[in-house]
Chains A and B, each alone.
Chain A
Amino acid sequence: MTEEKYIFQAATKKKLVIVGIVGILLFVAGIVLFPGAEHHGEEHALISVENTDLVASSDETPAATEGHDAHAEEAHHGSSTLVKNIYSNLWVNNVYFAGLAIIGLFFIAIQYAAQAGWSAGIKRVPLAMATWLPIAGVLMLVSWFVVGHDVFHWTHLDLFKEGSDTFDKIINAKKGMWYWPLTDNPSAIPVFFIGRMVLFFGVWYLFFVWIKKQMLAEDLNGGVVHWKKARTLSAVFLVFFGYSSSIAAWDWVMSIDTHWFSTMFGWYVFASWWVTGLSVIALIVVMLKEAGYMKIVNSNHIHDLGKFIFGFSIFWTYIWFSQFMLIYYANIPEETVYFIERLSSSNYVWIFFLNLILNFLLPFLLLMTRDAKRHMSMIKVVTPIIIVGHWFDFYLMVTPGVMQNKGGFGLMEIGMFLIFAVVFLFVTLSNLAKVPLIAKNHPMLEESLDHHI
């Protein structure tokens, strides 16, 4: 019973490849059918009109207008709408899937730190998800250099040059965070920013390797010494993760809306990552169970995962609402611009409300009863809703800042998501097949077997 190994069968691989090909076809179709690809000339006019609108609608204090006038973002925009669309799409998926990987490690770490017994039988699933970490790091780093100015407005050096036409007072005040050390060399990279990205992925990956080593050594040697070492590592990792996940959220997501800031944002991105990661873990566990694996997992464990998903869907909503209401009530133009961008464009307003329906209303109502959390069929309904819903959440964080009111949702977005999902699943499942599915010497396996709630 405890000697179990997942076999990544050819049939599963074939299905994944087919989904991947569908993704590529949709992506290509999205590019070919991209609306208004020929109307490049009109773009300037359109955007500048939109910009005036924005300033007018949030123009309540002279200081804000000054900040927005100076910003003159559109003077810079280089690539065509299509390319920008692809870039922002790429960045959404980068952040989303990097989050799934880091949540895999985070899940394991909190299980160790809390000395939790119930999860002993399912820890190999998040462990496999975390193998995406180095790939996510490389992808993120490479894509950052690819998307560059088109996604990250603050990478323009002249914004920081006092006296230049495009000098931006607000962005200049943030130069220590974004552009340090500042040089006149136009091909210089923001060393501090890139350094943080490398540091975070590097340290996360190191902890992943260390914790994984202890988990696998435990399979061979038994005893509690590996569990204790893993717990210590996990505790240290959690402290680092607490800071790094927040800063990562500011760097990779919040800095896209360069003028805007929110003190809730670190939590907001974490909450979104966390509930998505939990849903992916639960979905993979349920799928494995239906395929005949993981016999030691029963409805009590599914119930715990369900409670996690239910609770953190509400947590995400709490964070979402806290951020929204403070901005709504304070009504400061620098802050409200974020929601005006998302609510005043017909491209985003439906996603804005869909986000709340998919990520709060449906999980809240569907997972409310005890039975719903215990039945695999309900978990199989709710987790895809959340997985898709939080993709829209990240879409809404990234795209309006990159595309202004011209971002759309279409075949290209679906295609890119499918491509990323297939590659992510390929990495996860092939790594899941490499190690025993059940940690047979886990000191708390017995507790997990007897788990009853």
Chain B
Amino acid sequence: MEKGQNYLVGIFNDEDVLLKAVRQVREKGVKIFEVYTPFPVHGLEDELGYKKTRLPIAAFLFGLTGTILALTMQMWMLGVDWPMIIGGKDFVSLPPFIPVTFELTVLISAFGMVGTFMVVSDLKPYKDPNLFDKRSTDDKHVMAINLGNNSLASDDIKSILSDVGAEEVNETQR
């Protein structure tokens, strides 16, 4: 997030009002920076027009990495570096490798997904949460609008927000 931008913050009490408000505000050509809610609101991401997440693709690639890593590791360990006869099987035999391969696939795709998510969402330890309004962690929904991204005047957006049911509209800078 760039510093020194001016934001309008609309506070909503009810999620149904919020959903309708998001649609109406976007229909009027106002770009919404972000909406913060204390609990998941079904359908909000559709109303906000979010692009589909690409996290599953990352997960698949991480999983594939895990699979390949696990198989090459076991083949090298038990086939090349230190061949051992176990149960009279070949040095490199697939079935006993499957459980380890499965576990590493799951482990690496899970770790990779969490890591990717944290990077993409700009989450890290000791991060300043940068809340527009503290009540979004308790009982209010918060809609933030970056004035720098919108051509409409601040007062016009303010009146739009009040019209669609915002309880209060504040202006902040951060």
Contact = CB atoms under 8 A, between A and B. Distances in A.
B5 to A, nearest CB: 33
Contacts of A330: 87
Contact of A324 (B56, B87, B95): B95
Given A329-B87, A368-B60, A452 B43 contact: yes
B42 interface: yes
A202 to B, nearest CB: 41
Nearest to A452: B42
Q: Give chain A's interface residue range (CB within 8 Å of chain B).
A: 10 to 19
Given A329-B87, A452-B43, A321 B98 contact: yes
B115 interface: no
B98 A331 contact: no
Query: From DSSP, what is the main secondary structure of chain A's interface residues?
Result: helix
B56 A369 contact: yes
Interface in A292-335: 321, 324-325, 328-331
Query: From DSSP, what is the main secondary structure of chain B's interface residues?
Result: helix
Q: Give chain B's interface residue range (CB within 8 Å of chain A).
A: 10 to 19
B83 interface: no
A39 interface: no
Interface string B30-59: 000000000000110000000000001000
Interface in B44-100: 56, 60, 87-89, 95-96, 98-99
A329 B95 contact: yes
Contact of B96 (A329, A368, A369): A329
A368 B89 CA distance: 33
Interface in A324-363: 324-325, 328-331
Contacts of B99: 325
Contacts of A369: 56
B43 A325 contact: no
Contacts of B96: 325, 329
Contacts of B60: 368
A360 to B, nearest CB: 12
Contact of B95 (A325, A368, A370, A452): A325
B40 to A, nearest CB: 10
A209 B156 CA distance: 65
A370 B89 CA distance: 40
Contacts of B56: 368-370
Interface in A362-392: 368-370
Nearest to B99: A325
Interface of B: 42-43, 56, 60, 87-89, 95-96, 98-99
13 contacts: A324-B95, A325-B95, A325-B96, A325-B98, A325-B99, A328-B95, A329-B89, A329-B95, A329-B96, A330-B87, A331-B87, A368-B56, A452-B42
Given A321-B95, A369-B56, 12 more contacts: A325-B98, A328-B95, A329-B87, A329-B89, A329-B96, A330-B87, A331-B87, A331-B88, A368-B56, A370-B56, A452-B42, A452-B43
